[in-house]
Structure 1
Amino acid sequence: MIVLFDEFQDASRAVDAGIYKKMRSHFQNQESVAYMFFGSKEGIMDTLFGSRKEAFYRFATILPIPLIPENAWIKYIIEKFSHRGIKTEYQIIKEILSRTGGHPQNTMVVCSEIFYALIEAGENTITPGIVRLGYDRTLITLTPVYDEILDKLSQRFKVRDVLKRIVSDKSVYAKNINPNEAKRAVDHLVSKL
């Protein structure tokens, strides 16, 4: 038997923090059962299976999921919109992917916001203006999520300063940042990828 868990990192939200210990105690005694754990929050999944303090430490082999090829994304999105009677073009979908970097969850949120914008406008064709509107709505929707991530990362000394420098396309090393502090901040950020 194969048991698959999707968004496994959220199990403790559904029940309580002790759920992982209970699950592990049952899982490790099963025979002829394979478990697959999927989660969209890579950092949390890495912690659940890679930290000695966690119940699932070394319980699973972590396998990276390959990126979705751009042409596969474009074909999929065009088909999904087409099934809803929505017209679009290759270049329009390519623009969506350019804005999202092909990140699966963000791409789907942008497409969802585009869909709802079309319904509100009474239109059935995706235009560059609708893409911008969908993208802007997505930014509003995801801002609290990104703020939470940034706040959590910024608890480490100088991380926010280093992030600002990276976003500004500047060297992480600056007069007001000790080189060792900059390196520790970068190492911390890399560990959270």
Structure 2
Amino acid sequence: MILKDCHSGTVRYEDKDYKVRVVSGIDNKPALYFKDPNLQDIRMSRTEVIFNDNIKGCIKAKCDVVVRKNPGYPRMSEFWMGECEILEVVEIIQRQQDIRASVDITVQFTSENNGKSFFGVITNISAGGIYMVTSEPLTIGEILNFHYTFKNVERPFRCMVLWGQMDESGSNGYGLRFIELNEGGETAIRGYVFNVLREQRRNEAEESGEQ
């Protein structure tokens, strides 16, 4: 199976991105449920689909997607569903081997695409990338800059938007990959993640009464 633990993704068809809910099936044929109501019965041949897999990472693939009315509507909220066949894995954009830490860091981001600045909250971080929540709508492939002191020295960081989904709070959640991360920046982030996890384990031990 190509997908291990995937519940969301993005379908790119005719220069438009469609966010989808993913239900894994057998023989690499997941079902895709479209949030966009303005669709129609259509066959998307060899279209690009980005799957957000919690175990394997962000998987870019070429797929055949046959879109039809969702037989589960209105019990399900999505009016359209797609029968998807994964034809070819093009790239695994982001793997999840890096140790991650849950955090709550508010920083100011600046988009290289349009120069707009906005605030976002980093809720998950590793040396590979971050998960960030913001009210600002972003696009796949957009490049963002931010500054932060992860270890004594404030450093600039660049990252690329890989995928997005609606967060539980109703805000937009985005997975971003660090790009052009130098050795000093990577070391600082790894050290920061290690310290956060160590502190979290220490607090858990204290709460449970362990020595």
Q: TM-score range by the shorter chain?
A: under 0.3
TM-score w.r.t. the length of structure 1 is 0.25
> Which structure shows the higher strand fraction?
2
Indicate the structure (1 or 2) with the bigger Cα radius of gyration: 1
> Which structure shows the higher helix fraction?
1
TM-score w.r.t. the length of structure 2 is 0.24
